[in-house]
Structure 1
Amino acid sequence: MAHKSRSLLFVFLAILLASALNEASPVWRRKSIAGGWQPIDNPKDPEVVEIANFAVTEHNKEASTALAFEAVVKGEKQVVAGTNYRLVIAAKDGSATSSKQYQAVVWDEPSQKSRKLVSFEEIKG
């Protein structure tokens, strides 16, 4: 009976160790969480730039401003029923010599040919 108990204990410890190693693995930490925000690897991707241009254009319409898109600084996306994009955008206001940064959230659903500016705010400081 003691031999059987030791075998079960050994199996239990092996499972526990394997589980702990799996939890600590960098591969495990990189797995995406369903519905979670994921970094955009290439902010110069044409699709991301198109979304950012849309955000600036829509903001200009809604706020009667004249921002000029310059670049996507960084961003994240969240896949839901469509895709949410949270982008940091560099843009100039009229004849200003330096650009400011803005955070825009855009919801995009290509299958429905639908896109909506959710928010657009200047990043202060």
Structure 2
Amino acid sequence: MQQNSCFLILSLSICFLSLIFSNARKDALAGGWKPIKNIKNPHVIKIAKFAVDQYNKQSKVSLKLDEVVKGETQVVSGINYKLNLKAKDGSAVNTYEAVVWEKLWLHFRNLTSFTLVMD
């Protein structure tokens, strides 16, 4: 009887642990977009400013970052940041989606896309 109880507890523990570790491994895998919990984080703001600055240089315009509305990250060879941000163009405020690829350890950032979001 005691041997059966030990076997049952051991079997349930193994099943439970494998479930926990399989979910943790899925969260760490590359590819999935995860919401940014704190869009006011200084690093997120720095990424948004970089996106607006790069877009201004490429497009010869002068948008000014107003705020980050929401964002997501994606683990790749580095991190992709997909940010919805509001930017001023003179007196008009528009929403844009910017994607920035960053490899922090290489001090590398690249603006992948910057598009107007139609409300």
Q: TM-score range by the shorter chain?
A: 0.7 to 0.9
Q: 2:82 aligns with which of 43, 66, 86?
A: 86
Cα root mean square deviation, aligned: 2.5
**Structure exhibiting the larger radius of gyration computed from Cα positions:** 1
Structure 1 unaligned segments of length 5 or more: list them.
Answer: 1-14
Deviations for 1:57-108, whole angstroms, at most 9, x for unmatched residues? 0000000111110111000001121110000011110233xx1100000000
| Aligned pairs (5 A) from 1:1-125 | 32=27, 34-35=29-30, 36-96=32-92, 99-125=93-119
Percentage of identical aligned residues = 45
Q: How many angstroms apart in 1 are the aligned matches of 2:37 and 2:65? A: 20
Letter aligned with residue 75 of structure 1: G
Deviations for 1:26-49, whole angstroms, at most 9, x for unmatched residues? xx5xx6251111100011000000
Q: Provide runs of 4+ in structure 1 moved above 2 Å.
A: none
TM-score of the superposition, structure 2-length normalised?
Answer: 0.76
TM-score of the superposition, structure 1-length normalised?
Answer: 0.73
Q: How many angstroms apart in 2 are the aligned matches of 1:42 and 1:90? A: 16
How many residue pairs align between the two structures?
107
Letter aligned with residue 78 of structure 2: G
